[in-house]
Amino acid sequence: MNESDFHHAVDAVLARIERAAEATEGVEADLEGGVLTLTCPDGSRIVVNRQTPNREIWVAARSGGFHFATREEAWRDTRSGEELFARLAALTREQAGEALDFA
């Protein structure tokens, strides 16, 4: 994946996450400069951003940091293989009490 394709793909991912957060009561989304911050009702945050040199999406949450790369036509955790949207739904369920719905 070249850099331009990577940026287009990440922009689409960030927009999808932002839409899901806006449809979820209690989760506030702020997309600025390619960094998406999800703020939960208790004030905790989940940060999603691009890591261009590695061609990865990084997620920072209360429970830790996660790196996602494209594999098998999906963004997958580089350690566990878990899919990005499934992981984000679990993270928001843990921190906000409600999972993001990516359907």
Residue 1 banded pLDDT, cuts 50, 70, 90: confident
Structure tokens at 89: 């739904």
pLDDT score for 75: 97
Whether 43 maps to a domain, the answer reads yes
Whether 103 maps to a domain, the answer reads no
d(CA 42, CA 57): 25
Whether 62 maps to a domain, the answer reads yes
Span 76-97, average pLDDT: 96
pTM summary value: 0.93
d(CA 24, CA 17): 11
Whether 101 maps to a domain, the answer reads no
Calculate the alpha carbon distances from 68 to 46, 49, 59 in Å: 15, 10, 8
Whether 47 maps to a domain, the answer reads yes
Whether 83 maps to a domain, the answer reads yes
Q: What CATH number is attached to the domain comprising 51?
A: 3.30.920.10
Whether 91 maps to a domain, the answer reads yes
Look at the chain and report how many structural domains it folds into.
Answer: 1
Structure tokens at 24: 């979820």
